Structure 1
Amino acid sequence: MRLTEMSATGFRTTVAEFRRPAGGLRWVVIPTIHMGHPDYYWTIWQRLQSSQAVIAERYDGPSSTGLAYANAMRLARQRASRDIVHQDIDYGALGVPIIFPDALPDLIADPDRVMPRDERIGATVLTPFLAWEMARSGDDWLSGTDLNIHDHTVFAREPADVERDELLIGVIREIDTEFAAEDMEVAIVFGAAHTPLVVRELTGNLGHRVLPGARWLTAVDYEEAPYLRKPPLDGWMDF
């Protein structure tokens, strides 16, 4: 099963639903990239409105990793940098329980969605190094990066990443056991590198099956004008 797709025109990620043949709890898996077009994150937020709970990364605030990459792409004058922003999905505005399996105790969401000082400093320090690596490959670093991910993809993981994955899988198992028979939807919004393991857990150990009608969301589009990308839905979030 393909979870993300890199092509000559850009990068996109899937929204896939999983449920057991007998029904009950439905999982929505949304792999993300931490920098992309504003409408990409807005569309994810819209999709989450039908969920009764959301499992997400770290904390309810902007991504420092995404900020570093987005700024580096602009600094290195990358072709894909047009209209790129860092990930900032306002989970709290959904009004449903949000679970952060890998939450950091000192990383607290700001009511005004301002990135914590230490996170911003870290992104600022990282940006020039990323920009240097991007510039060495010309103006099209992103298209030369292999971002095609399937459910069978296996990444080399640092101990910290392994721990985060274990925390994520632990929460999924707990919810799946407690609410197996419930007619409800739980969404998982995590970086794309974490989602192959999630899909293998759902379809392997937990017995779920992917439902037809998976949706694709364009995170980075090299060619399309911004006004053509704006989703035909009511409202617009200010990213």
Structure 2
Amino acid sequence: MDIIDVGGMGVRTAVVQLRRKGTPCRFTIYPMIHVGEPSFYRTVRTRLARHDLIVQEGISGPTRAGELLTSVYRSETLQLRLGLQVQPGDLCDVGVPVVRPDMTGPEFEERWRGIGLPERAFWYATVPAFGLYTRLFMSREMLARELFTLGGDTLAIEEPSGFALHEIVLDQRDALLCAEVTRIHTERCEEDIDVAVVYGAGHVAPLVAHLRARHGYVPRDAEWLLVFDF
């Protein structure tokens, strides 16, 4: 299932609703790109207000490692030059109950310190260098290619699966997300509710696979939203 499209219209993300036979609960997944047009985030915010519960990505509390790894797309210079903005921190503050199953800052820092020193040194050297390159040379088309490579996740630099960081940023956080949607399904699947899941696009494929294999939810409806054009 394609959830990110990079083509002639620009970058699009597919909002997908999953349903299950026999119970009314629905999960609507918003695969987020963390840099986009202000209009994209306004559209998402408007839609989120129609849901009954929101499951939101976001490491709670300060984390120096997290700030390093997200510094590329948070660059104000990059945002101003490309006419884009970073995903608003209050995107999900729409008067709907929100749950955040993500790691805390101290938990992320503890896992970061567990990575071998050579790999941490690699990221400390590579991320600032890539950040400088993006501030000087990045275009919307180039950014689109980077986001497509990464599945729209929080890193704005290629992070192959061979790195230990992959397990922390994706696999371990995917497990927390899947555990939360399982809890919601177990407790509320008989309710006529629409649960929005607002997570980086890199987390969506494991979530969809989990909901399908464990609980029988399958995609029923999908709609493309434009993140930014060229």
TM-score, normalised by the number of residues in structure 2: 0.71
- Over the matched positions of the two proteins, sequence identity in percent amounts to 26
Equivalent residue letter for 2:194: E
Aligned mates of 2:218, 2:106 — CA distance in 1: 37
Q: Which residue of 1 aligns with 2:10?
A: 10
For structure 2, the 5+ residue unaligned runs are 108-124, 152-159
Partners in 2 of 1:172 and 1:83 — Cα distance? Answer: 35
What is the root-mean-square deviation of aligned Cα atoms in Å? 3.2
Contact 2:54–2:99 (CA<8 Å) still a contact in 1? yes
Cα gap change, 1:4 to 1:91, in 2 (>3 Å): same
Paired AA for residue 14 in structure 1: A
Structure 1: give runs of 5+ residues left out of the alignment. 108-124, 150-154, 223-239
- Say if 2:72 and 2:131, in contact at 8 Å, map to a contact too: no
Deviates more, 1:89-98 or 1:194-203: 89-98
CA deviation string 1:13-49 (max 9, x = no partner): 1111111122410000010011111111111111111
Question: Equivalent residue for 1:208?
Answer: 217
- Determine which of 179, 182, 186 is the counterpart of 2:195: 186
| Secondary structure class of the residue paired with 1:43 | helix
Q: Which runs of structure 2 are paired with 1:73-92 in the superposition (5 Å)? A: 74=78, 81-91=81-91
Task: Tell me, in whole angstroms, the C-alpha distance in 2 between the residues paired with 1:199 and 1:46.
Answer: 23
CA contact (8 A) 1:15 1:217 kept: yes
Q: Is the partner of 1:164 in helix, strand or coil?
A: helix
Would the aligned equivalents of 2:17 and 2:28 in 1 still touch at CA under 8 Å?
A: yes
Q: Partners in 2 of 1:138 and 1:35 — Cα distance?
A: 13
8 Å contact from structure 1 (residues 60, 92) kept in 2: no
Contact 1:72 1:131 in 2 (8 A): no
Structure 1 CA distance for aligned equivalents of residues 23 and 183 of structure 2: 18
Q: Indicate how the Cα distance of structure 1 residues 52 and 67 shifts in structure 2: closer, same or farther if over 3 A, else same.
A: farther
The 2-side partners of 1:89 and 1:103 are apart by: 16
* CA deviation string 1:51-106 (max 9, x = no partner): 11111112689x9666631527728x9xxx53200001525632222111114267
- The count of corresponding residues between Structure 1 and Structure 2 is 194
Report which of the two has the higher share of helix. Answer: 2
1:218 aligns with 2:226: yes
Letter matched to residue 19 of structure 1: R
